[in-house]
Structures are given as structure tokens and as C-alpha cells.
Amino acid sequence: MAQVNSLRGVTLATTSRDIQMRFYSELWGLTPVVYSSANSTRWLRARGSEPWVLGFTDAARNGLERLRLGAASNAAVIALHARALAAGCPVLTEPAPLEGPGAYFGFLLHDPDGRIVEISATEQHAARTDLDTPLPLRMSHVVLNSPDTRRTLAFYLDILGFQISDWYENDAIVFLRCNEDHHCLGIGQGSNTAINHMAFLVDDEAAVLAASERAKAAGVPQIWGAGRHGPGGNVFSYFRDPANFVCEYTAELIQIEPDQVWNAKEWKRTPQNANVWGTGGPTPEAIRLMSGEF
Ligand SMILES: [Fe+2]
């Protein structure tokens, strides 16, 4: 069965595209992609092979413009498109070459919360830069707020092929995987459909700490961490960008092999489970920003 097999990244709508591009290139550690386009979108890549991982497009307000998911091949994209149509999902475009760098072939649809999801394949791979640096390799995970987590989950599980890895009680966050990563997507109960936060993978725990120190020295406000989460086991360090999106450096996420028996379980929503080291936070600001209500 065709299924989504990666998180490619996100495009964010923003009132301050050039400020955001400067923040993520000069302070966060991504690299602008040179590409000539008539539209307002601009792109950033990480050190890994994904042609780009973060986009910004001009808008009247800040928010998630689209969630970008990968499939293995054009045939998988076409099969996912057919499945979405057959299930009555609001499909927005036919499978076709997508605007922007990376030579992606894909289509757009709405998820049950009305956010745009792009599903694409590409044979283009950026040259990986294996520098000795704590800078991001790729996007690791995105957490989305949802007023109806069960309805939203059904879409990501049944139509796109995700599996549940673990969850916090009361659907506070349900962690979903589509490859070996314990999660690349989280759906969390909320009053809105905002992006809760996005996380960028760095090499290891030391790189999370080094990247965090680098960001803090540049004046970027750290709002939670560094610490280690219970579900997923990953090291985290959360920051706030100039447009109030929450961005995270992360590493050492639990890997689940395809044939591995994995018993998904419920985690109590305790400070100790959210932060097994007990190292500070989240700050009230982090909670406010991640709630999407501001
Ligand atoms: Fe996270």
C-alpha cells in the first residue's frame, strides 16, 4: 500500500518574510536556496539531501501555509492521490510538477482541519554537507494543534499510512511515524489548527547543546530546554523566532525498525515525562506560543 514515507518540511505564511529568512539563515543554521521565482516564496535547505526544508511566503498573517510530506516515487504519489479521492478527501490539485526548487512531483489536499498538505516525490537530492557543525541536517518533526484529534488522526493513519508510536493522555499529543523515526508528526488537542512547533534534527546531544549556545549567544530567546523528552526519547531545545513560531533543535530520537515489535503506549502528562532531565521549563511563554492562541 502506498504511503507517506517522510516529512519534507513546511512552508510558513508570514508578514515578515525577509526577517524570517535572515533569522533562519544567519542565526538558525539553514541556507537560502537560489531559485528564480515569480511568486513570493523563498526557500531554505539544511545540510541533508532534501532540496529544501523550510519556505516562507508573504501573507497578511503568520501561520502554516502547508505541511510537506514525501512519498517514495511518482507512482506512490499517484496512488495516494487516488486513495484520497476515493475516500472523499478534499483534493486540491492533480499530481503534477510543483512550483519551486527540488523538482518535486506532487499534489495538494486539505486535511480534516483544513490545512494544506503537500505530498510529493523527487529524484533530486541536494549534496549533503557533512561539516563538523551542530547545524540542522533536516526537519525532524512538526506538531500541529487540532480541535478534533480523532478525526484528524483518522486521516493521517487511514489515508496517508502513518502509525501511532506513543501518546500523551487525553490526546495532548499523539506521536505518529511513517519511517524509522519514532515520530515526524504530532497531533495535539487544542482550540485551533495552528502549528505548535517545528523541530530540526542535528547530529547528537552535543550538537543540540552547541547549537543552543550558538543561538543564545546571538540573542535568540530560548523558551524551553535543553532537556530530553520521555516519548521519543529525543533531546530538545526550544526557541522563539522573530514571528513567534516555535523552533526546536533535536537529536537522538528513538528509531523503530520496520519489522520491530513496538507497543505504543499512553504517557501521563507530567513534567517528568515531558522533560526527563528536569532541566528547566517550559516557560509560560513556550506554553503560550505553542498553544497558538496569541
Ligand atoms: Fe518537539
pTM: 0.96
- Of 17-31, 167-181, 238-252, 272-286, the least confident: 272-286
CA of 229 to the centre of ligand 1 (A): 8
Residue 132 pLDDT exceeds 90:
no
SS (H, E, C) 27-51: HHCCEECCCCCCCCCEEEECCCCCC
How, if at all, do strands 222-228 and 63-71 pair?
Answer: unpaired
Domains for the chain: give ranges and CATH numbers. Answer: 4-121 (3.10.180.10), 138-291 (3.10.180.10)
Radius of gyration of the chain (CA): 18
- Omega prior to 226 cis, within 30 of 0: yes
Question: What is the Å distance from ligand 1's center to 142 Cα?
Answer: 7
Distance 199 CA to ligand 1 centre (A): 5
Distance (angstroms) between ligand 1 centre and the Cα of 140 equals 8
Residue 130 has what pLDDT?
72
**pLDDT score of 181:** 98
Ligand 1 midpoint to CA 253 (Å) = 10
Residues 64-95: pLDDT tens digits? 999 999 999 999 999 999 999 999 999 999 99
259: CA distance to ligand 1 center in Å? 25
pLDDT, mean over the chain? 95
Instruction: Report the pLDDT averaged over residues 52-73.
Output: 97
